């Protein structure tokens, strides 16, 4: 395919991804802090600032590949009492950690946890005001299917937002970043989970993910309008925004 995943069969790719998140579910949140030096918190805050959930009207939010609920809890905090959030992930172990976290929160928000695949959402058409996916879409074998599903479940006027690793556009930073991702990340992975190999695979999936420009084209191909993106931290991540009209 043009995503460069031809070397890994699609089913095999999903299996490798599932294996990683099964292994790390319990330690996922600490791993995120270690591997991003805490930056993922800032990136998620910028993402959720773009969600702008209504504090007065009903607001239905879907967070796909929502894992342990990190984005969902932020949307809940930003929204009002009529904000309803569905957290969907293919991996029930990740969702279980999210549910346990929700139970411990003083204001957990109106959250529902659903096991499902981004490529084939077990959800009806045209129900959501906003769809987010953070560090999830690069793990999905068929990005075009995930985008088509995002479009299907959004209402007209609904907002698509995607936070993902991207192409570093600062000279010099690219080399530091390569060193960090190919050497340091698998080492942290091995130290915390006993196995660095799955993390090496995840780092490769970042490399093979389309550039920010190309990804914007794929979003438009799925039928979205007003596609734009913002690079953060020198392009280590980008947030893509688009609308269903």
Provide the annotated binding site for S-adenosyl-L-methionine: 68, 89, 117-118
Please answer whether residues 102 and 70 qualify as being in contact, where contact means their C-beta atoms are separated by less than 8 angstroms.
Answer: no
Between 21 and 59, CB nearer to ligand SAM? 21
Q: Which of residues 79, 109, 136, 158 is near ligand SAM by CB under 6 A?
A: 136
> Per rule CB under 6 A, is residue 21 in the interface with ligand SAM?
yes
> Per rule CB under 6 A, is residue 189 in the interface with ligand SAM?
no
From 73-81, 117-125, 152-160, 176-184, give the range in contact with ligand SAM by CB under 6 A: 117-125
Selection from 195, 143, 210, 182 nearest residue 16 by Cα: 195
Task: Kindly write down the DSSP assignment for every residue of 117-128, as one continuous string.
Answer: BTTB-SS-TT-E
Burial class (CB in 10 A: 0-12, 13-18, 19+), 161: buried
From 106-114, 132-140, 190-198, 218-226, give the range in contact with ligand SAM by CB under 6 A: 132-140
Between 82 and 152, CB nearer to ligand SAM? 152
> Per rule CB under 6 A, is residue 241 in the interface with ligand SAM?
no
**C-alpha dist (Å) from residue 196 to 26, 67, 193, 202, 205:** 16, 20, 8, 10, 15
Q: Which of residues 70, 129, 149, 167 is near ligand SAM by CB under 6 A?
A: 70
**C-alpha dist (Å) from residue 97 to 1, 109, 122:** 34, 16, 21
Shortest Å distance, C-beta 209 to ligand SAM: 12
Q: Where do we find the tokens 């009529």?
A: 82
From 2-10, 99-107, 134-142, 191-199, give the range in contact with ligand SAM by CB under 6 A: 134-142
Q: Which stretches of the chain bind ligand SAM, using CB under 6 A?
A: 17, 21, 64-67, 70-71, 89-91, 94, 117-119, 134-136, 139-140
């Amino acid at each position: 395919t043009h995503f460069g995943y031809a070397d890994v069969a699609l089913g095999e790719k999903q299996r490798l991804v599932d294996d990683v998140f099964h292994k790390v579910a319990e330690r996922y949140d600490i791993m995120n802090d270690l591997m991003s030096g805490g930056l993922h918190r800032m990136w998620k805050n910028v993402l959720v600032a773009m969600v702008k959930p209504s504090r007065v009207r009903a607001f239905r939010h879907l967070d796909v590949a929502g894992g342990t609920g990190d984005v969902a809890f932020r949307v809940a905090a930003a929204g009002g009492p009529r904000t309803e959030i569905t957290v969907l992930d293919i991996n029930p172990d990740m969702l279980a950690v999210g549910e346990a976290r929700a139970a411990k929160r003083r204001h957990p928000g109106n959250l529902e946890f659903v096991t499902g695949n981004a490529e084939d959402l077990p959800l009806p058409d045209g129900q959501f005001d906003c769809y987010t996916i953070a560090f999830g879409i690069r793990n999905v074998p068929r990005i075009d299917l995930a985008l088509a599903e995002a479009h299907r479940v959004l209402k007209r006027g609904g907002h698509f937002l995607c936070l993902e690793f991207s192409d570093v556009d600062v000279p010099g930073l690219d080399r530091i970043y390569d060193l960090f991702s190919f050497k340091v990340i698998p080492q942290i992975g091995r130290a915390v989970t006993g196995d660095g190999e799955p993390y090496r695979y995840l780092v490769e999936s970042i490399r093979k993910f389309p550039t920010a420009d190309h990804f914007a084209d794929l979003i438009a191909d799925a039928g979205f309008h007003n596609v734009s993106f913002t690079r953060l931290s020198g392009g280590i991540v980008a947030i893509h925004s688009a609308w269903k009209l």
